[in-house]
Structure 1
Protein backbone atom coordinates (compact mmCIF):
# COMPACT_ATOMS: atom_id res chain seq x y z
CA UNK A 1 0.00 0.00 0.00
CA UNK A 2 1.43 3.27 -0.96
CA UNK A 3 0.96 6.67 0.63
CA UNK A 4 -1.20 7.90 -2.21
CA UNK A 5 -3.86 5.22 -1.73
CA UNK A 6 -3.88 5.68 2.07
CA UNK A 7 -4.29 9.41 1.59
CA UNK A 8 -7.14 8.91 -0.90
CA UNK A 9 -8.86 6.43 1.41
CA UNK A 10 -8.66 8.73 4.42
CA UNK A 11 -9.82 11.68 2.33
CA UNK A 12 -12.82 9.67 1.09
CA UNK A 13 -13.77 8.71 4.68
CA UNK A 14 -13.37 12.28 5.90
CA UNK A 15 -15.52 13.76 3.13
CA UNK A 16 -18.20 11.09 3.54
CA UNK A 17 -18.48 11.79 7.27
CA UNK A 18 -18.70 15.52 6.57
CA UNK A 19 -21.45 14.95 4.00
CA UNK A 20 -23.41 12.72 6.38
CA UNK A 21 -23.12 15.28 9.19
CA UNK A 22 -24.56 18.02 6.97
CA UNK A 23 -27.54 15.93 5.85
CA UNK A 24 -28.65 14.88 9.33
CA UNK A 25 -31.42 16.87 10.92
CA UNK A 26 -31.80 16.44 14.62
CA UNK A 27 -34.10 17.58 17.32
CA UNK A 28 -33.36 19.11 20.66
CA UNK A 29 -35.29 18.11 23.72
CA UNK A 30 -34.98 20.33 26.78
CA UNK A 31 -35.58 18.62 30.10
CA UNK A 32 -35.65 20.89 33.13
CA UNK A 33 -37.04 20.93 36.60
CA UNK A 34 -40.27 22.99 36.86
CA UNK A 35 -38.82 24.69 39.94
CA UNK A 36 -36.42 26.57 37.63
CA UNK A 37 -39.34 28.56 36.18
CA UNK A 38 -40.57 29.34 39.69
CA UNK A 39 -37.11 30.48 40.74
CA UNK A 40 -36.77 32.69 37.66
CA UNK A 41 -40.16 34.31 38.30
CA UNK A 42 -39.36 35.03 41.95
CA UNK A 43 -36.00 36.51 40.95
CA UNK A 44 -37.69 38.80 38.42
CA UNK A 45 -40.15 40.00 41.06
CA UNK A 46 -37.33 40.55 43.58
CA UNK A 47 -35.17 42.47 41.10
CA UNK A 48 -38.10 44.64 40.02
CA UNK A 49 -38.67 45.77 43.60
CA UNK A 50 -35.14 47.19 43.60
CA UNK A 51 -35.55 49.30 40.45
CA UNK A 52 -37.60 52.31 39.47
CA UNK A 53 -39.93 49.99 37.54
CA UNK A 54 -41.17 48.57 40.83
CA UNK A 55 -44.86 47.97 41.31
CA UNK A 56 -46.55 50.68 43.29
CA UNK A 57 -46.72 50.10 47.03
CA UNK A 58 -49.44 52.00 48.84
CA UNK A 59 -49.66 52.64 52.55
CA UNK A 60 -50.72 55.43 54.87
CA UNK A 61 -47.89 57.66 53.58
CA UNK A 62 -48.91 57.33 49.91
CA UNK A 63 -47.41 55.56 46.91
CA UNK A 64 -43.81 54.40 47.35
CA UNK A 65 -41.17 54.96 44.72
CA UNK A 66 -37.43 55.45 44.56
CA UNK A 67 -35.32 58.48 43.73
CA UNK A 68 -31.77 59.67 44.11
CA UNK A 69 -31.40 61.24 47.54
CA UNK A 70 -29.34 61.24 50.72
CA UNK A 71 -28.81 59.01 53.76
CA UNK A 72 -26.70 59.60 56.84
CA UNK A 73 -24.36 56.87 58.06
CA UNK A 74 -24.23 56.78 61.86
CA UNK A 75 -22.18 53.59 62.33
CA UNK A 76 -19.61 51.52 60.49
CA UNK A 77 -17.88 48.58 62.15
CA UNK A 78 -17.34 44.85 62.17
CA UNK A 79 -19.65 44.10 65.11
CA UNK A 80 -23.10 42.94 64.05
CA UNK A 81 -24.44 43.23 67.60
CA UNK A 82 -23.21 46.80 67.92
CA UNK A 83 -24.81 47.75 64.60
CA UNK A 84 -28.20 46.40 65.68
CA UNK A 85 -27.87 48.03 69.12
CA UNK A 86 -27.16 51.43 67.54
CA UNK A 87 -30.09 50.96 65.17
CA UNK A 88 -32.37 50.13 68.10
CA UNK A 89 -31.24 53.17 70.12
CA UNK A 90 -31.74 55.42 67.11
CA UNK A 91 -35.25 54.09 66.48
CA UNK A 92 -36.21 54.68 70.10
CA UNK A 93 -35.17 58.30 69.83
CA UNK A 94 -36.23 59.03 66.24
CA UNK A 95 -39.06 56.58 65.59
CA UNK A 96 -40.34 58.33 62.48
CA UNK A 97 -37.02 58.13 60.56
CA UNK A 98 -36.19 54.97 58.63
CA UNK A 99 -33.01 53.03 59.39
CA UNK A 100 -31.08 50.64 57.14
CA UNK A 101 -28.36 48.12 57.99
CA UNK A 102 -26.08 46.87 55.23
CA UNK A 103 -23.14 44.51 55.31
CA UNK A 104 -20.14 44.86 53.03
CA UNK A 105 -17.38 42.61 54.21
CA UNK A 106 -15.97 43.21 56.78
CA UNK A 107 -18.21 46.06 58.01
CA UNK A 108 -21.81 46.59 59.02
CA UNK A 109 -23.17 50.04 58.25
CA UNK A 110 -26.18 51.76 59.79
CA UNK A 111 -27.68 54.50 57.63
CA UNK A 112 -30.69 56.62 58.46
CA UNK A 113 -33.18 58.74 56.63
CA UNK A 114 -34.58 59.18 53.16
CA UNK A 115 -33.72 62.81 52.48
CA UNK A 116 -34.57 64.38 49.14
CA UNK A 117 -32.34 67.42 49.56
CA UNK A 118 -28.77 67.78 50.74
CA UNK A 119 -29.65 70.74 52.98
CA UNK A 120 -32.33 68.75 54.79
CA UNK A 121 -29.87 65.90 55.37
CA UNK A 122 -27.09 68.23 56.52
CA UNK A 123 -29.31 69.98 59.06
CA UNK A 124 -30.33 66.63 60.56
CA UNK A 125 -26.70 65.48 60.43
CA UNK A 126 -25.70 68.50 62.57
CA UNK A 127 -28.20 67.37 65.20
CA UNK A 128 -26.91 63.77 65.06
CA UNK A 129 -23.26 64.77 65.57
CA UNK A 130 -24.03 65.33 69.27
CA UNK A 131 -24.89 61.65 69.77
CA UNK A 132 -22.98 60.03 66.90
CA UNK A 133 -19.53 61.61 66.48
CA UNK A 134 -18.58 60.06 63.12
CA UNK A 135 -21.48 60.68 60.75
CA UNK A 136 -21.20 60.79 56.97
CA UNK A 137 -23.57 61.84 54.22
CA UNK A 138 -24.13 59.48 51.27
CA UNK A 139 -25.93 59.95 47.97
CA UNK A 140 -27.94 56.84 47.08
CA UNK A 141 -31.35 55.53 46.05
CA UNK A 142 -33.94 56.38 48.69
CA UNK A 143 -37.60 55.58 49.17
CA UNK A 144 -39.99 58.45 48.52
CA UNK A 145 -43.74 58.66 49.02
CA UNK A 146 -45.98 60.77 46.83
Structure 2
Protein backbone atom coordinates (compact mmCIF):
# COMPACT_ATOMS: atom_id res chain seq x y z
CA UNK A 1 0.00 0.00 0.00
CA UNK A 2 2.81 2.42 0.94
CA UNK A 3 4.66 1.64 -2.27
CA UNK A 4 1.56 2.46 -4.34
CA UNK A 5 1.18 5.83 -2.61
CA UNK A 6 4.86 6.59 -3.10
CA UNK A 7 4.68 5.64 -6.78
CA UNK A 8 1.61 7.85 -7.27
CA UNK A 9 3.34 10.76 -5.53
CA UNK A 10 6.47 10.33 -7.66
CA UNK A 11 4.34 10.12 -10.80
CA UNK A 12 2.65 13.41 -9.95
CA UNK A 13 6.01 15.05 -9.15
CA UNK A 14 7.60 13.93 -12.41
CA UNK A 15 4.57 14.89 -14.47
CA UNK A 16 5.14 18.57 -13.53
CA UNK A 17 8.26 18.50 -15.76
CA UNK A 18 10.29 20.46 -13.18
CA UNK A 19 8.33 23.67 -13.71
CA UNK A 20 7.65 25.48 -10.47
CA UNK A 21 6.47 29.07 -10.31
CA UNK A 22 7.47 31.15 -7.29
CA UNK A 23 5.73 34.45 -6.69
CA UNK A 24 7.55 36.94 -4.50
CA UNK A 25 5.80 39.86 -2.87
CA UNK A 26 7.03 43.25 -4.16
CA UNK A 27 7.68 44.45 -0.59
CA UNK A 28 9.96 41.48 0.05
CA UNK A 29 11.87 42.16 -3.17
CA UNK A 30 12.28 45.82 -2.22
CA UNK A 31 13.54 44.94 1.27
CA UNK A 32 16.03 42.40 -0.08
CA UNK A 33 17.36 44.87 -2.66
CA UNK A 34 17.71 47.52 0.05
CA UNK A 35 19.57 45.08 2.33
CA UNK A 36 21.93 44.07 -0.49
CA UNK A 37 22.76 47.66 -1.44
CA UNK A 38 23.38 48.66 2.20
CA UNK A 39 25.58 45.62 2.73
CA UNK A 40 27.65 46.43 -0.34
CA UNK A 41 28.09 50.08 0.61
CA UNK A 42 29.17 49.36 4.19
CA UNK A 43 32.93 49.26 4.72
CA UNK A 44 32.71 47.35 8.01
CA UNK A 45 31.29 44.05 9.22
CA UNK A 46 30.89 42.62 12.70
CA UNK A 47 33.71 40.18 13.37
CA UNK A 48 36.24 38.90 15.88
CA UNK A 49 39.77 39.75 16.95
CA UNK A 50 42.09 38.26 19.56
CA UNK A 51 42.87 40.60 22.42
CA UNK A 52 46.32 39.78 23.79
CA UNK A 53 46.37 42.09 26.79
CA UNK A 54 44.35 44.68 28.65
CA UNK A 55 46.36 46.81 31.04
CA UNK A 56 46.50 50.29 32.46
CA UNK A 57 50.31 50.27 32.16
CA UNK A 58 51.52 51.58 28.80
CA UNK A 59 54.90 49.85 29.17
CA UNK A 60 53.22 46.45 29.54
CA UNK A 61 51.15 47.19 26.44
CA UNK A 62 54.26 48.10 24.43
CA UNK A 63 56.07 45.00 25.72
CA UNK A 64 53.17 42.81 24.57
CA UNK A 65 53.20 44.45 21.12
CA UNK A 66 56.94 43.93 20.69
CA UNK A 67 56.73 40.33 21.94
CA UNK A 68 53.94 39.65 19.43
CA UNK A 69 55.94 41.28 16.63
CA UNK A 70 58.96 39.12 17.38
CA UNK A 71 56.97 35.86 17.70
CA UNK A 72 54.53 36.51 14.85
CA UNK A 73 56.14 38.95 12.38
CA UNK A 74 53.37 38.46 9.81
CA UNK A 75 50.69 39.77 12.17
CA UNK A 76 50.09 43.42 12.89
CA UNK A 77 49.30 44.06 16.54
CA UNK A 78 47.10 47.12 16.93
CA UNK A 79 46.58 48.91 20.19
CA UNK A 80 43.71 50.99 21.50
CA UNK A 81 43.43 53.27 24.48
CA UNK A 82 40.01 52.86 26.06
CA UNK A 83 40.56 54.96 29.16
CA UNK A 84 42.05 53.90 31.52
CA UNK A 85 43.10 50.71 29.71
CA UNK A 86 45.41 49.89 26.82
CA UNK A 87 44.36 46.96 24.65
CA UNK A 88 46.44 45.03 22.11
CA UNK A 89 44.48 43.16 19.45
CA UNK A 90 45.47 41.02 16.47
CA UNK A 91 43.74 39.30 13.59
CA UNK A 92 40.44 39.70 11.80
CA UNK A 93 38.03 36.78 11.75
CA UNK A 94 34.46 36.52 10.54
CA UNK A 95 33.48 33.92 13.15
CA UNK A 96 34.71 32.98 16.59
CA UNK A 97 35.25 29.42 15.42
CA UNK A 98 37.86 30.58 12.87
CA UNK A 99 40.11 32.04 15.58
CA UNK A 100 39.90 29.20 18.13
CA UNK A 101 42.85 27.11 16.92
CA UNK A 102 45.18 30.13 16.74
CA UNK A 103 43.96 31.33 20.14
CA UNK A 104 45.05 28.04 21.70
CA UNK A 105 48.52 28.51 20.22
CA UNK A 106 48.67 32.11 21.46
CA UNK A 107 47.68 31.13 25.00
CA UNK A 108 51.15 29.63 25.48
CA UNK A 109 52.77 33.05 25.10
CA UNK A 110 49.83 35.27 26.08
CA UNK A 111 47.79 33.42 28.73
CA UNK A 112 45.28 36.27 29.09
CA UNK A 113 44.40 36.35 25.37
CA UNK A 114 40.66 36.34 24.70
CA UNK A 115 38.37 36.62 21.66
CA UNK A 116 36.57 39.98 21.34
CA UNK A 117 33.94 41.27 18.92
CA UNK A 118 34.91 44.29 16.85
CA UNK A 119 34.00 46.23 13.73
CA UNK A 120 36.31 44.96 11.01
CA UNK A 121 36.97 46.44 7.60
CA UNK A 122 35.96 44.02 4.86
CA UNK A 123 39.36 44.24 3.19
CA UNK A 124 40.99 42.91 6.38
CA UNK A 125 38.94 39.71 6.08
CA UNK A 126 40.11 39.16 2.50
CA UNK A 127 43.80 39.02 3.41
TM-score (norm 2): 0.59
Residues 78 and 106, structure 1, Cα contact 8 Å, conserved in 2: yes
CA shift for structure 1 position 88 = 1.3
Unaligned runs of 5+ residues in structure 2 are 1-39
Structure 1 residue matching 2:104: 3-state secondary structure: helix
Q: Which residue of 2 aligns with 1:114?
A: 92
Which protein has greater RCO, CA pairs closer than 8 Å, 6+ apart? 2
Alignment of 1:5-20 (within 5 A): none
Q: Which residue of 2 aligns with 1:104?
A: 82
Q: Which residue of 1 aligns with 2:121?
A: 143
State the Cα RMSD in Å: 1.9
Residues 98 and 114, structure 1, Cα contact 8 Å, conserved in 2: no
Q: Which residue of 1 aligns with 2:107?
A: 129
Unaligned runs of 5+ residues in structure 1 are 1-51, 55-64
Residues 70 and 139, structure 1, Cα contact 8 Å, conserved in 2: yes
Cα distance in 1, alignment partners of residues 99 and 52 from structure 2? 13
CA shift for structure 1 position 53 = 5.7
